[in-house]
Amino acid sequence: MDIFGRLTIESLPFYSAIAASGAAVTVLGALSVAAVITYFGAWRLVVFQWLSSVDHKKIGIMYIMLALVMLVRGFVDAAMMRSQQAIALNSDGYLPPGHFDQIFSSHGTIMIFFMAMPFLSGLINLIMPQQIGSRDVAFPFMNAVSLWLSTAGAALVLISLVIGKFSTAGWTGYPPYSGLEFTPGVGVDYWIWAVLISGFGSTMTGINFLVTIIKCRAPGMTMFRMPLFTWTVFITSVLIIFAFPALTVACAMLALDRTLGMHFFTNGMGGNMMNYINLFWLWGHPEVYILILPAFGVFSEVVAVFSQKRLFGYISLVLATMAIGLLSFTVWLHHFFTMGSSARVNSFFGTMTTIIAVPTGVKVFDWLLTMYRGRIVFKPPLLFTIGFLVTFVIGGLSGVLLALPPIDYLMHNTTFLIAHFHNMIIPGVLFGYLAGYMFWFPKAFGFKLNEKWGTRAFWCWIVGFYVAFMPLYVLGLLGMPRRMEHYEIAAWQPHLIVAAFGAFIILLGMICLGVQLWVSIRDRKEALDLTGDPWNGRSLEWATSSPAAPYNFAVLPKVECRDAWWDMKQRGVAYQRPEKYEDIVMPKNTFAGAVIGAAGFAFGFAMIWWIWWLALLSLAVIGAAIIVRASNDDDEFVMPASEVKAIEDARFAQLAKAPKNAMEGEPGFAGQPAPEPAA
Amino acid sequence: MSSAATMSVSTRDTERYEEKDFGFWLYLMSDAVIFACLFATYLVMVGNAAGGPVPKDVFSLNRAAAETALLLLSSTTFGIAAVSLWAGDRSKVLLWLAITFLLGAGFIALEFSEFSGMIAKGAGPDRSGFLSAFFTLVGTHGLHVSVGLVWILVMIGQVFAKGLTAPVASRLMRLGLFWHFLDIIWVVIFSVVYLPGLL
Ligand code: HEM
Ligand SMILES: [Cu+2]
């Protein structure tokens, strides 16, 4: 059976009912997607309009679909852990230890790498080029490669549920436990290759966004006229480019240890496991800012638009973002104060960690002052923003506590830490992305999301969050370590039961999100966005139609100040019809991106299962795809002016039908100039 | 297509090449961080011989010097290819690319013999932390050089088939960046790995 490496029939999950049902759900999920596509007869559309697309808006939408699917999967894991811990006093509960360990590992891995990262790339792809008045990202094809490599990584995590097992080493994969000696089998390898392959995609995404922002801005869009979301993307891209290599190196070395018997992180033979931990967090801390800065960007846009007021302290927000970006490389050791550094080193990193709270505090005040005396419209994106502001401050305070090494010695690896980082990452990152999702959904699809269900989702999420995670602070103070499969201390159980109830409320929030999507699609005719500017917006993404034309802007906008679109509406030059249209050069669709993604998946699978011929074959396919693509000088086409004119004429016809200003009916509407549809 | 449109398309092309060059620089920065992590790891682990061979036992100054000479020379020959590219001399470009390829291949051959000799002597990457770090650092560089060799072949093919067109010239310039970058990395390897190990 050599040709299958270490893959045998025993790798299928028939050893346990729970594992088998997880596998069944995964397989059925995949089949039902295929069935739905077949039912709508949409294979052609999916394959030729989406799989091969290099349009940043479609790529953005696909990223977000991936993120939402993975959010569901990550939440199922969380719910299983919460219910296990609620009942596992003096008993094994329903999950055996090995299985529980897989679940916290996959939950963390999925949420960080395959929910948050794709969500972030998706929102940025969808919006950033439009915000800077560009027709696309700098490298549309590379963008597709990034998407499909991320998808390949996610597919590896998903398939680990069906073939073999996932890692039990947590989302951090610390050696020596994650080494071959203590964890043989394929679990850690699934983790490594999923992370490595998607990591390559993320690095390319970072390069792509940075070049786009620096090179592709519309005339007049100087750096200090860029919307704040774009600014945060700029800093996040820099962080991606400089931080992800450390993760790549750490994971590659772990893979070498496990596959070729090297001794980077082994217990003996000259291994040095602290080196892994340093490399991992050298990426890991910047990573939390990679995730949260764009969310800060979303909040900045949302808070200004729904306060109908210019963003307060634009410059200070930009500078704070830069400061956070810089400082984020100077704090990584706070993740392992307890692992043997001297008091002096610990105090340095403790101090830096406290300092990084300062620019974040600046931002909070800027957002508050933007709302101050604003005419606030309480739409779901703003609700998420307010929920974030209140909740995030609590998480920040517990973070400043943990930054003090003596306190961290007490709290390290307790559920206090779990409470702290969920307290940052759910309101900070997830609420930010959900706010962005509801804010920009009309831009992607041309109709608004249902606001009633959005509001319900918000209330379930925020209440559920508090009920699920505040008890974890208490449990941490009671000394409960993280990652516990069962326990003997009766005093913990009531808190864990409350936390499980909180997870149930979050489940209702998830359901509300699903219902919202369903109801909105069903009733889309009633919530059409005909102007492309449903919220009376301020930045250039609202100047395009909803959904935007393939080229975004028929004529590149001329920017004269910050809040460019708002300014154009003020000056009465919004919605102007140009005298004539020009040909537009566009990138051609290509399957090379999807092929590279598929081969990347096959390569990862082969490396996990030691199927060497398949590894070589898939590498060869990737190499061939790159060479063929790189030798092709005919990767663009010209969309003739007549076609552009046809699209734009339809848009202006639609504008003429639109109500004057979509926000006119809102309380507090400040009488901004209404879009003047041309005849 | 009107002449105005042609104009705007071709300035667009130069912009495109600038974007690609800039993106490639960023990739090189990112790759430099990878090497920085590998260097740091090597320095942390160079003393972890685990009772096995130490640097003095396995490195050869002669071979390292020969490898250095080959790679430095290949950077020079690539430079000549670039000069010929500006002169628009297609056959010279082909010639100097081919010479660069041969020099690079010679480097890889030497490195291959070094690695296989060490493995045969029981000083393979699974012997100790030091050797793991050594093989991974130098091997990663070697892997880059090998990719560069394939790239040179592809570009020879493109120059042959397409001539010195603007896209081909732009790719050659990026290949040059890559090749010189690998040279710099090698100089650091030579001074951080081989020299201190032997002196
Ligand atoms: C949706 C609600 C969520 C719930 C109910 C939840 C619950 C949990 C639970 C119970 C654990 C295990 C705690 C322990 O080890 O004792 C955990 C760990 C973790 N969660 Fe969440 N979580 C949620 C959302 C998220 C999100 C949005 C992220 C990141 C974007 C995230 C990232 C993590 C990470 C990184 C770990 C650590 C995994 C490990 O120990 O290796 N979680 N979560
Ligand atoms: Cu940190």
Is A271 in contact with B129 (Cβ distance < 8 A)? Answer: yes
CB distance B72 to B107 below 8 Å: no
User: Which ligand lies nearest the alpha carbon of A282?
Assistant: 2
CA-nearest residue of chain B to A267? B129
What was the pLDDT predicted at A572?
82
Ramachandran area for residue B102 (φ above 0: left; ψ -120 to 50: alpha; else beta): alpha
Main-chain phi, psi angles of A414, to 5 degrees: -100, 175
- Chain B contacts of A277, Cβ < 8 Å? none
State residue A574's pLDDT score.
86
> pLDDT exceeding 90 applies to what percent of chain B?
90
- Residue pair A190/A172 in contact (Cβ under 8 Å)? The answer is no
Residue A487, SS3? strand
**The token pair that represents A676 in the structure block:** 């003047």
Looking at the predicted structure, is the pLDDT value of residue B9 above 70?
A: no
Residue A521 has pLDDT above 70, yes or no: yes
Q: Is the pLDDT of residue A676 over 80?
A: no
Q: What is the pLDDT of residues A33-83, one digit of tens each?
A: 999 999 999 999 999 999 999 999 999 999 999 999 999 999 999 999 999
Distance A44 CA to ligand 2 centre (A): 45
Shortest alpha-carbon distance between residue A219 and chain B (Å): 14
Q: How far away, in angstroms, is A239 Cα from ligand 1 center?
A: 23
Residue pairs spanning A and B at CB distance below 8 A: 122
Is pLDDT at A620 greater than 90 in this prediction?
Answer: yes
Contact B129 A253 (CB under 8 A): no
Least confident piece of the model among A17-26, A275-284, A456-465, B37-46: A17-26
Q: How many CB atoms lie within 10 A of CB A404?
A: 19
Which residue in B12, B17, B20, B41 has the most chain A C-beta atoms within 10 A of its own C-beta, making it the best mutation to test that interface? B41
> What is the CATH number that goes with domain B11-198?
1.20.120.80
Q: How far is A201 from chain B (nearest CA, A)?
A: 12
The answer to whether the CB atoms of A139 and B150 lie below 8 A apart is no
Amino acid at A643: E
Quote the ligand 1 centre to A169 CA distance (angstroms): 14
Q: What pLDDT does residue A665 have?
A: 65
Q: How far apart are CA A648 and CA B175, in angstroms?
A: 42
Residue-wise pLDDT tens digits, B42-76:
999 999 999 999 999 999 999 999 999 999 999 99
- B199, burial (CB in 10 Å: exposed 0-12, middle 13-18, buried 19+): exposed
Residue A664 has pLDDT above 80, yes or no: no
Task: Give the closest residue to A461 by CA, choosing from A408, A397, A383.
Answer: A383
Cis-peptide, bond into residue B55, ω within 30° of zero: no
Q: Which residue of A has its CA nearest to B40?
A: A275
Across the range A353-379, mean pLDDT stands at 94
Are the beta carbons of A216 and B135 separated by less than 8 Å?
no
Ligand nearest to C-alpha A423: 1
Cα–Cα distance measured from residue B1 to residue B12, given in angstroms and rounded to the nearest whole number: 15
Please give all residues whose CB falls under 5 A of ion ligand 2, grouped by chain where several chains appear: A 285
User: Which residue owns the Cα nearest ligand 1 atom 40?
Assistant: A170
- Are A54 and A593 in contact by the 8 Å Cβ rule? The answer is yes
Residue B50 distance to chain A (closest CA, Å) = 5
Condensed to tens digits (0 to 9), the pLDDT of residues B96-139 reads 999 999 999 999 999 999 999 999 999 999 999 999 999 999 99
Ligand 1 pocket: which of A102, A107, A458, A485 to mutate (most atoms within 8 A of CB)? A107
Q: At the fourth CATH level, which superfamily is domain A8-590+635-657?
A: Cytochrome c oxidase-like, subunit I domain (1.20.210.10)
Q: What are phi and psi of A185, to 5 degrees?
A: 90, 180
The ligand placed nearest to the CA atom of residue A86 is 1
Among A26-30, A104-108, A471-475, the range scoring the smallest mean pLDDT is: A26-30
Q: What three-state secondary structure class fits A168?
A: coil
Query: At residue A679, does pLDDT exceed 80?
Result: no
Close Cβ partners of A153 (under 8 Å, ≥ 6 residues apart): A113, A114, A193, A194, A195, A196, A197, A198, A199, A201, A604
Q: Which of B33, B45, B171 sits opposite A272 (nearest CB)?
A: B45
Q: pTM for the whole thing?
A: 0.96
Q: In 3D, which of A234, A301, A236 has the Cα closest to residue A565?
A: A301
Average pLDDT over residues A197-209: 98
Question: Which residues of A, range 563-592, sit inside 8 Å of B by Cβ?
Answer: 582-583, 585
CA-CA distances (angstroms) from residue B186 to B69, B107, B108, B111, B189?
Answer: 11, 11, 12, 12, 5
Per the prediction, chain A carries an average pLDDT of 94
Confidence class for position B14, pLDDT limits 50, 70, 90: confident
B37, A249: Cβ pair inside 8 Å? Answer: yes
pLDDT of residue A662: 61
- Percentage with pLDDT > 70 across chain A: 97
pLDDT of residue A677: 44
Cβ-based contacts of B126 with chain A (< 8 Å) = 260-263
What gap in Å lies between CA A547 and CA A356, rounded to an integer?
Answer: 39
List, chain by chain if needed, residues with CB within 6 Å of any ligand 1 atom: A 75, 78, 81-82, 104-105, 107-108, 111-112, 115-116, 170-172, 415, 418, 422, 425-426, 429-430, 468, 482-484, 503, 506
Return the pLDDT at A3: 84
d(CA A550, CA B59): 58
Q: How confident is the model at residue B1 (pLDDT cuts 50, 70, 90)?
A: very low
Domain segments of chain B as ranges:
11-198
The residue whose two tokens read 């036992």 is B57
Query: Confidence class of residue B2 from pLDDT cuts 50, 70 and 90?
Result: very low
Residues of chain A neighbouring B43 (CB-CB closer than 8 A): none
The DSSP code sequence of B103-131 is HHHHHHHHHHHHHHHHHHTT--TTS-HHH
Q: How far apart are CA B150 and CA B143, in angstroms?
A: 11
Break chain A into its structural domains and give their ranges. 8-590+635-657
Are B66 and B110 within 8 A, CB to CB? Answer: yes
CB contact under 8 A, A256 and B136: yes
User: Which residues in B lie closer than 8 A to residue A215 (C-beta atoms)?
Assistant: 15, 18-19, 22
A486 shares contact with chain B (CB less than 8 Å): no
B133: buried, middle or exposed (CB in 10 Å: 19+, 13-18, 0-12)?
buried
pLDDT above 80: residue B3 = no
What is the structure's pLDDT at A669?
A: 58
User: Could you tell me whether strands A636-639 and A584-587 are parallel, antiparallel, or unpaired per DSSP bridges?
Assistant: antiparallel
Q: Which atom of ligand 1 is nearest to the CA of A418?
A: 13
Put simply, the answer to whether A256 touches B158 (Cβ < 8 Å) is: no
The pLDDT value given to residue A666:
64
